[in-house]
Amino acid sequence: MKIVQFGLCFSPNLGDGVIAECIGHGLRTKRPDATVTHIDLSGRQDFGQVVIPNREAILAIVDRLPLFIRQRLAQWKLNRLVDGVADQWRKAAQANLAIIGGGQVFSDSNLNFPIKIGRVADILAQTQTPTAVFGVGVSKNWTPKGKHLFHKLADADVRMVGVRDDGSAAGWRAQMSQGPAPELTLDPGLLAALHYGPAADPKGVGLCVTDFGILAHHASGTVAGAAATATAFYAGIAGAVLKKGHAVTLFCNGAAEDIALLEKVAADPSLQGYRDANHLHVPTAPRTPTELVAIIAGCEAVIAHRLHACIVAYSYGRPIVGLGWDTKLDAFFETAGLSGCFSSAPDLSAQDVADLVTGAMAQGIDADHHAKLLADTWDGFDRVLACAATAPAAP
């Protein structure tokens, strides 16, 4: 069986790579005869490939422009990008099944995903490959042009739409009037512990550092802690958790902006007295999903704005504290039954976060609920594989 997944497998945010690799794991576990090809929607061919240099500065400028200018710039840039890989995508689409997802790919930020998914839809309509939307997040931010591009999926053979939370289902119903009704398929990243394997002897609390500018660009809500500077916020959390007697591991999901901020936090004067193996640990920034997962799995608990830092930690049964900025964080913590371990308050203090992680560690992870979510995740793979054709699409 030939399967192609269109997603973000080589994204600088390695959490997206975790999703892709967990999708591959789930498909091959259920169908050992499956050959899975991963296609990066940004045209990347490997980890570390930079599509937009100085992304944070460029986005800060672009976000100040009128919408119609932003969209014209996106169409010029992104159509050229996709033109360069369209033949590769078309060849890969000649498969028994095409999967679009997971991740928050049905979001319209300057037409980014609408243009890319619109082109995928054109190709899949030509090949008439059985298609499933799977494990995706859906933002309620589609512009008229973005909606038109996403609606190209109506011409493809879409047999299933699997979204990862109720909010995404509502967003799909409100903005996509054609095709199958959305159904819940949990985030494939929940399989991380099964795919990447056990971690020995976890130690301390992991604090995932994320650039506030990138969060604000994509945010659907307030960024937790944004009343302070990002450096002060994260350094304050690290100090407050250290004072509670826990070792702290500072890490990030791998994006260049996050790495730059992480270096500033690690160098903050308030933390210099703790820089030793028993207190404050700053591992080398991860370059692959495997390296990211190893860092997260090596922690006893994790604090993060990044959704997949939380999902990976939860997969390993680690207590988690979520810092809000987008409804997808709220939705996951509700799904996990951990809403009390989450906050999106912009004036959230470092001590508030330290208290949250103390509570999360005392509460632990409910083993029965964890097992149920894993079973539900596997059920989603059964449903998506049921969409496949017995023979691949003709060239």
- Considering the entire predicted model, what is its pTM? 0.94
Q: Is a pLDDT exceeding 80 seen at residue 375?
A: yes
Q: Cα–Cα–Cα angle for 95, 192, 33, nearest 5°?
A: 30
Task: Supply the pLDDT for residue 218.
Answer: 81
C-alpha 41, offset from chain centre: 14
Q: Is a pLDDT exceeding 80 seen at residue 16?
A: yes
Q: What is the mean pLDDT of residues 100-120?
A: 96
Judge whether 2-192+374-385 and 201-364 match in fold: yes
Nearest-angstrom CA–CA distance, 163 and 101: 9
Q: For 165-174, what is each residue's pLDDT tens digit?
A: 999 999 999 9
Handedness of CA 339, 341, 346, 352 (dihedral sign): positive
Q: For 76-86, what is each residue's pLDDT tens digit?
A: 888 999 999 99
Nearest-angstrom CA–CA distance, 124 and 116: 13
Task: Report the share of the chain in percent with pLDDT over 70.
Answer: 97
Nearest-angstrom CA–CA distance, 334 and 323: 13
What one-letter code names the amino acid at 218? H
Q: Is a pLDDT exceeding 80 seen at residue 17?
A: yes
CATH fold of 2-192+374-385, please? Rossmann fold (3.40.50)
Q: For 223-257, what is each residue's pLDDT tens digit?
A: 999 999 999 999 999 999 999 999 999 999 999 99
Q: What is the mean pLDDT of residues 61-89?
A: 87
Residues 6 or more apart in contact with residue 164 via CB below 8 angstroms: 102, 135, 136, 137, 184, 185, 186, 187, 328, 331, 332
For the beta carbon of residue 170, count every other beta carbon within 10 angstroms: 14
Task: Report the share of the chain in percent with pLDDT over 90.
Answer: 84
Given a contact cutoff of 8 angstroms between Cβ atoms, the answer to whether 102 and 9 are in contact is no
Task: Supply the pLDDT for residue 36.
Answer: 98
Q: For 154-163, what is each residue's pLDDT tens digit?
A: 999 999 999 9
Nearest-angstrom CA–CA distance, 236 and 351: 8
Task: Supply the pLDDT for residue 43.
Answer: 94
- Backbone torsions φ then ψ of 133, nearest 5 degrees: -85, 130
Rg over alpha carbons for the chain, rounded to the nearest Å, is 20
Q: Is a pLDDT exceeding 90 seen at residue 27?
A: yes
Per-chain mean pLDDT for the chain:
94
Q: What is the mean pLDDT of residues 346-371?
A: 97
- Of residues 140, 220, 133, 141, the one with CA closest to residue 185: 133
Query: Would you kindly state where each structural domain of the chain is located, as residue ranges?
Result: 2-192+374-385, 201-364
Tokens of 253: 């999901």
Task: Supply the pLDDT for residue 73.
Answer: 85
Tokens of 8: 């973000």
The β-bridge relationship of strands 205-208 and 301-304 is parallel
Q: What is the mean pLDDT of residues 327-344?
A: 96
Q: For 128-154, what is each residue's pLDDT tens digit?
A: 999 999 999 999 999 999 999 999 999
Q: Is a pLDDT exceeding 90 seen at residue 191?
A: yes
Instruction: Please tell me the CATH superfamily of domain 201-364, with its number.
Output: Glycogen Phosphorylase B; (3.40.50.2000)
Q: Is a pLDDT exceeding 70 seen at residue 55?
A: no
Q: Is a pLDDT exceeding 70 seen at residue 58?
A: no
